[in-house]
Amino acid sequence: MVHFLPSLLLVLTRAVLRLSRLCSWLLVYAGSFLALCFYSPTFLRVVAQGPGKAFRWRVRERPPDCLTDASFGQHCYVRTKNSGMRFHYVSAGEKGRPLMLMLHGFPEIWFSWRHQLVAFRDGYHVVAPDLRGYGGSDAPSGWESYKLETLLEDIHDLIEMLGYRQCVLVGHDWGGTLAWTFSVQHPEMVERLIVMNGPHLAGLQDYILSHPSQLLRSGYVFLFQLPLLPELLLSLADFKMLRDAMTSEEVGIQNPQHRLTDEELEAFLYSFSQPKAITGPLNYYRNLFSFLPVKCQDVLMPTLLIWGGKDVFLELGMAQLMRQYVQSRFRLEILPEASHWVQQDRPERVNQLMKAFLSEE
């Protein structure tokens, strides 16, 4: 009997794991169904305004002039050694100066860092890439190509291929979450960390467990788990949801001085209007639940967290929670009137805070 115990335990363990995965899958897709019900009135309103208009979107054939404006920096490409992926990035400032690597969020591209590329090029070699699946970078189609370890490997390879061993790492939204996680796993490669409206994964997990209201704000995450349908919904009425996310009075950029011009909005739509260009970014979300549960791991380098107080996607209370995950100097700066798109909404203030943080010993 004793000889059968190890085999029996192994079988039971595998059964429990399979049952756990099944339960997780059922919960996620139950959430997806509820999210679809929640967002359905919005989609129906779009269709009701005219089916012909709703199901019509266009591919932008040429980029707007602001995307090729040389004042923001030089457009470059690099192929990473491990994945063989080709990444597009915009570079400002002389190579050889300290590297400042900037990671954008969704639905953005390198262009969301245009104000920072100009502001920091005198002291740094500033690099703003299009992340995997975005803009001019390669975009594998399969969701398995967007696992967390793969995305972190991209950052590691980019730093090395640019000729550096260390950087000031800056991230917003999804780029901020990647920056938190990369700093935990590769502390030797991050001199200082600057995050904007992006949660540490352990912090997001812990906050949601004690604040279910955040789940309502994150309903789109469950919607994005569905296959194909989110791509269609985001494309409706010539990408109305994407346009509203960055320009509407409720969730878009709040500062009248920095609201996106038609040309700047087209800079984002140019990228997302290309064939199958939305699938790669959505695959980040489709892998999100595979990251959980997250072990509590601490950040060891000086960290600046900048948070737009009018973020409708992430509750402000989450920002306060991030302090406990940093075992070094931590500074939290809340900009009460700024939206989720904080570095575009209040670029002068954001740049000022970054410079003050970077100048400290």
Instruction: Show the tokens assigned to 128.
Output: 């703003």
Spatial distance between the Cα atoms of 50 and 306, rounded to a whole number of angstroms = 41
Instruction: Show the tokens assigned to 232.
Output: 């269609």
Which of 125, 172, 200, 340 is an active site residue? 340
Q: Does the annotation count 173 as an active-site position?
A: yes
Name 307's bridge partners: 334
Q: Does the annotation count 104 as an active-site position?
A: no
Amino acid occupying residue 104? H
Backbone angles phi and psi of 225, in degrees to 5: -70, -25
Which of 207, 220, 270, 285 is an active site residue? 285
Question: Which residues 6+ apart lie within 8 Å of 138 measured at CB?
Answer: 85, 86, 87, 132
Helix (H, G, I), strand (E, B) or coil at 134: coil
Which of 154, 173, 206, 311 is an active site residue? 173
Name 195's bridge partners: 171, 305
Q: Does the annotation count 340 as an active-site position?
A: yes
Amino acid occupying residue 165? R
Angle at which helices 229-247 and 5-48 cross, to 10°: 60
DSSP state of 260: P
In the chain, DSSP assigns E strands to 74-79, 86-92, 99-103, 125-129, 167-172, 190-196, 303-308, 330-335
Element (H, E) at 158: helix 148-161
Helix and strand totals (H; E) in the chain? 14, 8
CB 259 within 8 A of CB 354: no
Catalytic (active-site) positions: 173, 285, 340
